[in-house]
Amino acid sequence: MSTAPKQLVIISGKGGTGKTSLAAAIAHLAAGELPIVIADADVDAANLDLVLHPTRLESHPFSNGLVAEIDEEKCISCGLCEEACRFDAILVPDRTGDPYGIDEVACDGCAACVYHCPVEAITMREPQVGEWYLSETPYGPLYHAHLFAGADNSGKLVTLVKQQAKLRAMDDGRPLVVVDGPPGIGCPVISAASGADLALIVVEPTLSGAHDLARVLELTDHFGVPALVAINKGDLSEQQSAAIEAFCRERGVALSVRIPYDTLVTEAMVAGQPITAWAESPAAQAIRALWATIKARLGLQGKE
């Protein structure tokens, strides 16, 4: 089958809004009705596997971009590379006591220094900065990745994970890809949200939650992705929840549910289970209703 699968991306302005718990619950509910593929696009701090308990089937290295390297033997310590580098990535003997070298963490891989070096002492190399995996979970195949600490541009790895998940869904004729997105509105989120059929934005009823929501909506609008908003722990502040709802109405954004504050959610998380599989709690019920809305919005046929 080659019909394009639907992509649902779950994002939030900030992390810690219960996004991953919600993504796991949605994956659990969706998988009960139709075959899905899951992508954990939060490659900086992939958390979904703590709840989905994947069995790893494949690992692949991921490299992204170059870093400079100075050949100590050839270097004549002229300092021209340091003048050329706009990323403060050249380690200077005056400060380090060592020969000229590269701060690999700071190096942007632009290769400007290579051209400035009069004796061709600088070369570029391509180190591995992460890994991506295919795993099996009780709810379907999971594509996920791990970016080594401090590595730059997780956007590329996010795109790769999403692409693999989508290809798999197309190959198997699975109608839905559930993407757990990264926090923020930067490069990784742009990569995660672009091309999605629906973005589920999770917010908390706080002043900064409302502030983040406005920024995230600007982003989904910018990329033409329809949005649906869920207020997590909606009963924590009636005032802020109402303000967020009013804001959504004003913006013409569909608001789905308030998920109540529910201590069982933390309990389920500690136990490593999706809340919907753990207990028929108030939060689980709200998430079931949310899933029904998502299904309708994406035009998916699931069994009831």
Partner 1 sequence: MRITVASGKGGTGKTTVAVNLALSLAAAGRAVTFLDCDVEEPNAHIFLRPQIEREETTGILIPEVDDDRCTYCGRCAEVCVFHAIAVIGTKVLVFPELCHGCGSCAYNCPEKAITEVLHPTARLRWGKATGEGTPIAFGEGVLDVGQAMATPVIRELKKKGLPAEEESIAILDAPPGNSCPVVETMRGSDFVLLVTEPTPFGLHDLRLAVQVAREELGLPAGVVINRDGVGDDSVERFCAEAGIPILMRIPLDRRIAEAYAQGETIVARLPEYRERFQALYRRIEEEVGR
| CB nearer to partner 1: pick between 34 and 112 | 112
Instruction: Specify the residue for token string 């389920």.
Output: 268
| CB nearer to ligand SF4: pick between 73 and 250 | 73
Segment interacting with ligand SF4, rule: CB under 6 A, options 37-45, 109-117, 190-198, 240-248? 109-117
| CB nearer to partner 1: pick between 118 and 299 | 118
**Contact string 261-300 vs ligand SF4 (x = CB under 6 A):** ----------------------------------------
Please report the beta strands in the chain, taking only residues with DSSP state E, as ranges in sequence order.
6-11, 36-40, 55-63, 67-70, 90-91, 101-102, 122-125, 128-137, 140-147, 176-180, 198-203, 227-232, 254-259
Q: Give residues in contact with partner 1 (CB under 8 A).
A: 13-17, 20, 44-45, 47, 50, 65-66, 84, 86-88, 105-106, 108-112, 115-116, 124, 147, 149-155, 182-188, 190, 204-208, 211-212, 215, 218-219, 222, 236-237, 239-240, 266, 269-270, 272
Query: How many residues line the site for ligand SF4 (CB under 6 A)?
Result: 28
| CB nearer to partner 1: pick between 216 and 257 | 216
Give the contacts of 49 (CB within 8 A, at least 6 positions apart): 40, 135, 142, 144
Residue 20 identity (one-letter amino acid): T
**Contact string 64-103 vs ligand SF4 (x = CB under 6 A):** ----x-x----xxxxxxx--xx-x-xx---------x-x-
Partner from ligand SF4, partner 1, none binding residue 17, C-beta < 5-8 Å depending on class: partner 1
Residues 13 and 216: beta-carbon distance below 8 Å:
yes
Q: How far is the CB of 188 from ligand SF4 (least distance, A)?
A: 21
Partner from ligand SF4, partner 1, none binding residue 269, C-beta < 5-8 Å depending on class: partner 1
Report the 3 state secondary structure along 241-265: HHHHHHHHHHHCCEEEEEECCCHHH
Segment interacting with ligand SF4, rule: CB under 6 A, options 118-126, 176-184, 216-224, 237-245? 118-126
Give the contacts of 42 (CB within 8 A, at least 6 positions apart): 15, 20, 48, 180, 181, 182, 183, 188
- Nearest Cα residue to 93 out of 108, 106, 77: 77
Give the whole-angstrom CA distance, residue 193 versus residue 195. 6
